[in-house]
Amino acid sequence: MKRIGWYAAVGFLSLLLTGCDTKASPIIEMLFGTTDWVWNHDLPASDYIPNFHRKLPDAAKICNVKLLGLNNNITDGGEAAYFSSSDVEAAQKCLKREIPQGEFGTIERSEWNKLVKEHPGFPTPLGMIPEQVALPPPQSGSE
């Protein structure tokens, strides 16, 4: 009986630590483009994700991560998506498989908390990002 109680205590502590780990885990950052048109190039951008408004939540669900929001102020047509997970390594592997166009990295939780505190409205919810960003074609010749 004592041994079962000890295993139960260890299991409870593991669950408790896993819960704490989620709050301390780094944030997964994915950089990608939202336009299929690239200056002076006849091919789509390699980081272009068509229908990203549907694909990002689908990938988050498949990978069992939380989509925190986006930052659409990087460049014209450039985005960053942010995800959280208690198992960052497994989450990144899954997200890379589901969204291969993204370039993945992490942001330490302290830096993330600072960004959220200093920039009201950050990160931008997915529904607030325009679905298509159209860029004007480059001007040929001098102006």
Tens digit of each residue's pLDDT (9 = 90 or more) over 68-95: 999 876 666 778 999 999 999 999 999 9
Q: Per-residue pLDDT tens for 21-60? A: 456 899 999 999 877 766 677 767 778 888 888 999 999 9
Q: Which residue has better confidence, 52 or 8?
A: 52
Distance CA 87, CA 22 (A): 8
Lowest mean pLDDT among 92-101, 119-128, 133-142: 133-142
* Of 81, 61, 83, 60, nearest in space to 72 by CA: 81
Phi and psi dihedrals of 41, rounded to 5?
A: -145, 140
pLDDT of residue 127: 84
pTM: 0.73
DSSP 12-52: HHHHHHHHHHHHHSPEEEEEEES-S--TT-SS--TTB-TTH
Residues 6 or more apart whose Cβ sits within 8 Å of residue 69: 81, 82, 122, 123, 124, 125, 126
Q: Which residue has better confidence, 11 or 53?
A: 53
Helix axes 88-98, 52-62, angle to 10 degrees: 140
For residues 128-139, average pLDDT: 64
Distance CA 8, CA 21 (A): 20
pLDDT of residue 46: 79
Angle, vertex CA 96, rays to CA 90 and CA 99, nearest 5? 135
- Output the CA–CA distances (angstroms, integers) from residue 74 to 80, 81, 94, in the order listed: 8, 11, 25
Q: Per-residue pLDDT tens for 101-131? A: 999 999 999 999 999 999 988 999 988 877 7
Asked if 22 contacts 87 with a C-beta cutoff of 8 angstroms, the reply is no
DSSP designation for 124: B
pLDDT of residue 34: 77
pLDDT of residue 81: 94
CATH architecture of 25-128: 2-Layer Sandwich (3.30)
